[in-house]
Structure 1
Amino acid sequence: MHFIEDVKDVKFSFLEKPPASSMTHAFVYVNHHNEYYAVKNGERLSRSELRIGKYKKVYTINMQQHTITYKEEVPSATRGRRFSINLSIDIAVEHPERLVQQNAGEINTIFKNNLPFWVESEARFYPIEEEMSFARHIEEFFQTSKLSKVLREAGIVIRNVRVLIRQGIRDQRHDEVIADLDRNAELSAYQEALDLEEARRISAAIKEALQAGDFITAGKLGEKNEMAKRLVESEFSQNQAFKFEVNKQLFNLINDHSINQFEAEQRLARLKKLFPFLPVNEGNNNGKKQISGPRRERLSYLNKGD
């Protein structure tokens, strides 16, 4: 990026007018006494002004805005973590005569030689979580630093600073993995809560069916939810009243002469398969007529679970 685009010797002519400046280009005239005169914004020198000033050289100055960009990943104060910096600085010539005086036409070299070192050295003072503070620091630097003063003295102004700072690519991926783990854990916890609520609902229905002697319904409910079955098992092992009621219902089923032996055995087999913790022994069910005799012995067996 060159602000000084051309340098020519001034040639006076009675026939030709000096060139006119424009909004994008200015002219700076210099005489042997190092006196500088800027012509800009569409103005031009008259022949008499050119002759009286005794100007020997004329510089063509680019007055358009230029953008200096800086894109790098630099280490932060957090070990192993890096900032990804995207910095754009809009600069333009405001006083072309100062630019020529300071011979600062190749201002881009100043930024290339100094900007990377400054940004990287400043980044080491900021932890990776403070990217916003670091961004503000960069913006303030280009408004109040010695660099801004040097540029103004050279006739150059900083019109705008845009800076975007985020975590480096590797760190972004690292945090995305952690976020996914957190999301999965949250979903799992939510699903477990739903499952537990469903299990409690079903286990309550199973207990109600068992206490009512409806073992078929209890068995079907038990097939739907393993957690509910475990809750009922826990209830059966801890609750003496519940155990007594279940044993009583089992005894009534075995001794119910309105249900034939095959049907009773089928019910008991299903119940034993679904709820192995219940005190049911199919091998001892040898027929209801035989059962109805030694009822006290069978009741004693059923009550072993107590």
Structure 2
Amino acid sequence: MIRTALTAAALAALALAAPSAAQTPQTPPAETAPGPNDWRAPDPQDILVIDTNKGRIIVEITPTTAPLHAPRIRELTRKGVYDGRTFFRVIDGFMAQTGDPLDNGTGESDLPNLPAEFTFRRGTDTPMVVADDQSVAELGFIGPVPVISQSSMLMPMTADGKVNAWGLFCPGVAGMARGSEPDSANSQFFLMRDEYPKLEKRYTIWGRVISGLDVVRALKTGEPVDPPQDKMTKVQLLADMPAAERPKIRVIDPKGPWFQAEIARNKALNGGHISPCGVKIPVEVK
């Protein structure tokens, strides 16, 4: 069975959520440039550098949202499984799929399938920066990935002191493809070209593109893609790259004042409610 991010039949049946009624926006505060204390240096073990024939894509891996899938991505990268793999299924307005050793959607690595991590448990030690407290739920960010969880007020009432949380499928988010069974993800993954909330709590999120979303959107489309297909020529972890070739990367810190001001701007532009996929996350790559 072809492992898909979503089957063609399901795609035809799903529609993006209709926009809410227009509201009169508040005047957003003026945007300023980030200062020295607004940046963070991501862990080199959590930076996936994907060189393609169309350009470079950089993904930050988020082990918190996928503690089993994150090590799998690292392991397959270090084994060279992703080198030369094609983007065999690319759908405009949706996602680009790759990571199949057979390059046709039917293959997998020689490692066992992984159990689903569609949601995760959030505790007081979870590195989530809350951007919007919605009483019954809290919306925020774990690194570059927007997430939503049950209210932290419920933590003392649960057996493990934690609540359910899950990532949002915004542009650039990296998810694991799977077959019809929830616990069937293996090596294939997809990068979101656009927002698609219908995938939430149905596919595992393991990171997000922090640089090169334009490359993801420039990939040749098709289901399947007609030859010649675009491909990942080389995939490496930043930690494994030779020092002379290693890009210097810094990402805006969700805990910093610039990001908090960006949240305020986002809310002002959206009638007082945050639009998580529209929150800017500046990145510098040198």
Q: TM-score, normalised by structure 2?
A: 0.17
Larger RCO: 1 or 2 (CA < 8 Å, sep 6+): 2
- Greater percentage in helix: 1
- Greater percentage in strand: 2
Q: Which structure's CA Rg is the greater one?
A: 1
Q: TM-score, normalised by structure 1?
A: 0.17
